[in-house]
Chains A and B, each alone.
Chain A
């Protein structure tokens, strides 16, 4: 078990910056998910930790020891590839014992560890089968077992569930989480699927365009996004962000959202005091926070209703004044064309600076 520290890590491919100024410390035994859209630098980060790619700046330390000069075969990193990279021309047993053989572990010791690992992962019945043609969940367990059997200091998983169909993904998610609990090893998990990150990770590092935007527990990231990208990216659908202006009322400052109406008076805590807010502001709230209310101060026409089972997604307004609302099916849904009056709990409102995109207070 090892702590990983990335400091000012950066990677340029020619003129293209894949990653810049990445600072992240991953604790001993922690499960951290690197989450972001394609091309955000998450895989580059992972490949640099594994040693497949050399950084152009910054440092990577395992337990305070820089490993930049350690070749990848000596880093003690277990890597689970997106397509598992199982040696399909070998048997399951040969796959499991590959690392131990390569490291010159004696035969009795090797057999002992391989059968212990096979027991743990329920691979014993198929040890002597060819790895080609095994089902995906067995391949996944085999890939993890093949890395785990050499007892790596850290585990890196590169989108291991992206080749699996949606129905099976939840099964694999719980299986993976269970394995992580058993190994209690430091794990870094790259994914573009927020559901995977939210359900499995201790902490999530959200990345975009080669920059680390926010690190925090899944709930912190969900409740208090520090950046409009994170706000929009996390959640399904993501946070509504509307342009507004700070206005004064007799009950205190509120946000004027033009045609939509005026928000309830703001209740803010955290970094920014209400007095410091810029005049132009981005007003953010989760679709789940839309509260239909005949006395609500906000109103928008209903354009479209998506029914997704227990809940429905309402598309309100359009374009820059568009809002998505997630409503329970228990209540009567408005019809298309109706004007929906609603209110937003002022405690749940998040404000962002339109220039920098950063959150300006609002943590409760």
Chain B
């Protein structure tokens, strides 16, 4: 059979190759204008950023940005950045939020997906309810959690029920607890997205393969670990990549809840950039920070995408 099909393929190749070449060429010329536009939109800001990051320019200097070369300082912004402990602390804090929130969101989302992959009474209702947090505007979610975590707020009231004495924890003004509150808000808001993606992946695992595993005597757990999870590999990587990148950019909810404080206790990389831009107005420096982050994120995404395509090939 394989010999037969190989022969067929060899016979068919020369004819189709020409056609494919022609189609590729035509496609290239037809999409060229759009490609150029997209390239310009994507590349221009990066080049501009690179340019500004080599200067000491700020909008208050009274010269337009394209004449920023008058304030050329070379790589000083970058060397400053390397020794900026507030930057490194913000970066570290962002990573902490990432390594706490992403796994928790993943495990919760996976658990919910396992529950929702089977039918049960009231499933549609629960399903819609679960997706609500995702649809709440992040600014609104920020205010909600700001109120929830007040020292006289519902979170403390709830905790009081379980402890003998009334709980009065100052969540948002305690440097060691504020980040916990911020992470709770992020988990609340973004677990549904993880759940939604993972559920879609779980539903697409072929039913007959799962049945085959059960008929061969596999327990639920064995089926889950050997069939369901490996088959979901690609979608799991996508879900993790989306949330990792999103959390790296965490800003709105957090800024409304704590404003990055108390002090710099919840200052993530986005909050730090915002503060440097709006308060210190040193735009050249901000451009340098943004470029470094862009490079970090690109490396992470490239790695995720290459792993993903490897997973797809195995399929």
Contacts and interface: CB of A to CB of B under 8 A. Distances in A.
A binds B: yes
Interface of A: 50-52, 72-75, 77-79, 81-83, 85-90, 98-99, 101-103, 130, 132, 135-137, 146-147, 150, 168
Given A79-B215, A150-B216, 20 more contacts: A51-B215, A74-B217, A78-B215, A82-B208, A83-B208, A85-B212, A87-B209, A87-B212, A88-B315, A89-B230, A89-B231, A89-B315, A98-B213, A98-B216, A102-B216, A102-B217, A103-B216, A135-B5, A146-B216, A147-B216
A82 B207 CA distance: 12
Contact of B2 (A79, A85, A102, A135): A135
Contacts of B218: 73, 98-99, 102
B217 A150 contact: yes
B211 A52 contact: yes
Interface of B: 1-2, 5, 206, 208-209, 211-219, 222, 226-227, 230-231, 233, 314-315
A339 to B, nearest CB: 47
Nearest to B5: A135
A166 to B, nearest CB: 14
Contacts of B1: 135-137, 168
Contacts of B226: 87, 90, 98
Contacts of B233: 89
A99 B216 contact: yes
Contacts of B5: 135
Contacts of A78: 215
B124 to A, nearest CB: 19
A130 B222 CA distance: 20
25 contacts: A52-B211, A72-B211, A73-B215, A73-B217, A73-B218, A74-B217, A78-B215, A79-B211, A79-B215, A81-B211, A81-B212, A82-B208, A83-B208, A86-B209, A87-B213, A87-B226, A88-B315, A89-B315, A98-B216, A99-B217, A103-B217, A132-B314, A135-B1, A135-B2, A137-B1
Contacts of B211: 52, 72, 79, 81, 85
A130 B310 CA distance: 14
- What are the 10 A-B residue pairs with the smallest beta carbon separation, nearest first? A99-B216, A85-B208, A102-B218, A85-B212, A102-B217, A103-B217, A81-B208, A135-B1, A79-B215, A85-B209
B126 to A, nearest CB: 24
A73 B217 CA distance: 4
Contacts of B230: 89
B314 A79 contact: no
Given A81-B208, A102-B222, A72 B215 contact: yes
Contacts of B217: 73-74, 99, 102-103, 150
A82 B211 CA distance: 12
Contacts of B227: 87
B170 to A, nearest CB: 51
Contacts of B208: 81-83, 85
Nearest to B207: A85
Nearest to B220: A73
A73 B209 CA distance: 14
Contact of A73 (B2, B219, B231, B314): B219
A77 B213 contact: no
A88 B231 CA distance: 9
Given A89-B230, A102-B218, A79 B315 contact: no
A77 to B, nearest CB: 6
A60 to B, nearest CB: 15
Contacts of B314: 89, 130, 132
A72 B206 contact: no
A170 B231 CA distance: 33
B186 to A, nearest CB: 33
B110 to A, nearest CB: 18
B209 to A, nearest CB: 5
Q: B213, B214, B217 — which one has the most chain A CB atoms within 10 A of its CB?
A: B217
Nearest to A81: B208
Contacts of B2: 135
A50 B209 contact: no
A77 B215 contact: yes
A4 B73 CA distance: 87
Contacts of B215: 50-51, 72-73, 75, 77-79, 147
